[in-house]
Structure 1
């Protein structure tokens, strides 16, 4: 049971490079925050144990009413699908593990980009937009579509996983292992690799190619989905000035009804805020 300090909820956002945590009151007012490195090279269980230890420090002896979790990949009963950035994350039964750690807490899990889109629609740059498209440019690459106030999940929860998209006609019919998927060239991880191996002039050229390839796919998504607004979040929003102008030009040139284009209102912590919103909702309903 929570101590005399009052009841709390816990939110965790498991990313490719770091895990962000917050403890809040049942209304969602944040009380204490912490960030720990994921240390993907040490494996999935080590990352989970590090996050749980940090959570215990934040909770200071209290048990949360509810725990909201956002994660890279698609959390399921037996593992987290489509999460190659952390070795072993796919085989880790994240929900069951956290239920054992917090047995008295209501537990909610979702994909990080969908959590971010949900929050941006509720209280951010997608508010009032229908449909709205959220683009995450972080360690990886994915999008989420909001229609009628709800984030589209897809049959397997995998809608918006454009990191797996084909890049050229020559990719048609090839298995993933036999081609270069989009996320391998358009993501924070891809840009970091390029920065380590390129000189300043080469890197500038690479960044231009990076943005143009992103623009190519956003144009095609906009033509297919006809969103009212595209909102971009994730760590790469720190370079929003460079991103915006090229993306804006590409959208205006090719999309019959060009959407609005904005940086996210919460570009760096929307997944955590989305997880917190899930925890608050779970605490209220008890499920």
Structure 2
């Protein structure tokens, strides 16, 4: 994570906070005015035809400026942007699902675009864990795990009430963990990051389940069809993959001794299907089994975590939890991928 110190005491205590969540499929933006309580949200496709690298980032910046209505606000307090992958030295690593953002000076680009040094960069799932711990299903748990099953697969741990990042900011990138199905393979045949493979992500993630559904039934099908299917072949393969995920959760629960695990991301909409087997295995195999819960924020935990990161860096008062009651996942229902027409404003008392 890269964070600048809070502004000095002579800086006004109110203004606009901008949160940007760059996902593998969609990018969400939230702009919150701390003086009025107005929250604006924008949704756009992360990938645009012909745009990669700096051009792709600039498109996201333009959408964020439109969301914030910067010409009409007195002060920008801070910006936080979160990404899938590892943020290190203001650069993005291990992020194959982003449009060529790896290698860019993300801090420099954002600081120049918004004319503020108060820029925070972080991993999206770690931001999601922060949101769930601050307002959601992990609130009050000093030792917890947030598992995001979306386009990819990743997790974040709460240790002593704080998000754990590890030495390189790469802690809990569980998509790169080995699957449990290696009995017939010699270690020389194992594959991982350096071979361009994320073994567990290829086993259980929104993308890998979409691929499985299309392989079984054709190009118009997706992961949701797997969970509805009574096809014995599909049921058996889905169960095999679910058991691979369960083995990871069991091992992480033993290693970290957490009290609660929250499942988030788009695939968490299938939580009622996932929960019985996962809970049963956790209860049977973990010495001190954690409680399994559904995340409060299905698709926008990283966005709200980014907003909290921006708030902390800017040193503004705590955000009201009531702001989420009317806004959670609202932007996901707007499918227009262009910045125009995406502006959404909700006024909070």
**Same fold (TM > 0.5):** yes
Per mean C-alpha deviation after superposition, the further-off stretch among 270-279 and 89-98 is 89-98
Structure 1 residue 143 displacement after superposition:
1.0
Alignment match of 2:187 (pick from 172, 178, 195): 172
CA contact (8 A) 1:18 1:37 kept: yes
Q: Deviations over 1:150-204 (max 9, x none)?
A: 1111010100011111122536354521866111111111111112111352433
What corresponds to 2:302 in structure 1? Answer: 271
Per mean C-alpha deviation after superposition, the further-off stretch among 170-179 and 82-91 is 170-179
Structure 1 residue 22 and structure 2 residue 30: aligned? Answer: yes
Say what the alpha-carbon RMSD is for the aligned residues: 2.2
Alignment match of 2:139 (pick from 127, 137, 142): 127
What corresponds to 1:48 in structure 2? Answer: 57
Cα distance in structure 1, aligned partners of 2:135 and 2:234: 36
CA contact (8 A) 1:16 1:40 kept: no
Cα distance in structure 1, aligned partners of 2:105 and 2:254: 38
TM-aligned CA distance change 1:211 to 1:64, over 3 Å: same
TM-aligned CA distance change 1:220 to 1:65, over 3 Å: same
CA contact (8 A) 1:135 1:232 kept: yes
Alignment match of 1:92 (pick from 104, 107, 110): 104
What corresponds to 1:198 in structure 2? Answer: 216
Which structure has the larger Rg over C-alpha atoms? 2
Alignment of 1:231-250 (within 5 A): 231-250=262-281
Per mean C-alpha deviation after superposition, the further-off stretch among 25-34 and 275-284 is 25-34
Cα distance in structure 2, aligned partners of 1:231 and 1:76: 26
Structure 1 residue 64 and structure 2 residue 76: aligned? Answer: yes
Cα distance in structure 2, aligned partners of 1:208 and 1:81: 32
Structure 1 residue 280 and structure 2 residue 332: aligned? Answer: no
Per mean C-alpha deviation after superposition, the further-off stretch among 25-34 and 66-75 is 25-34
Alignment match of 1:224 (pick from 255, 258, 272): 255
CA contact (8 A) 2:157 2:172 kept: yes
Structure 1 residue 76 displacement after superposition:
2.6
CA contact (8 A) 2:57 2:101 kept: no
Per mean C-alpha deviation after superposition, the further-off stretch among 269-278 and 160-169 is 160-169
Unaligned 5+ segments in structure 1 are 1-5
Cα distance in structure 1, aligned partners of 2:61 and 2:172: 29
Cα distance in structure 2, aligned partners of 1:39 and 1:197: 24
TM-aligned CA distance change 1:180 to 1:9, over 3 Å: closer
Cα distance in structure 2, aligned partners of 1:196 and 1:226: 38
Unaligned 5+ segments in structure 2 are 1-13, 218-228, 317-349
Cα distance in structure 1, aligned partners of 2:299 and 2:186: 33
Cα distance in structure 1, aligned partners of 2:36 and 2:304: 9
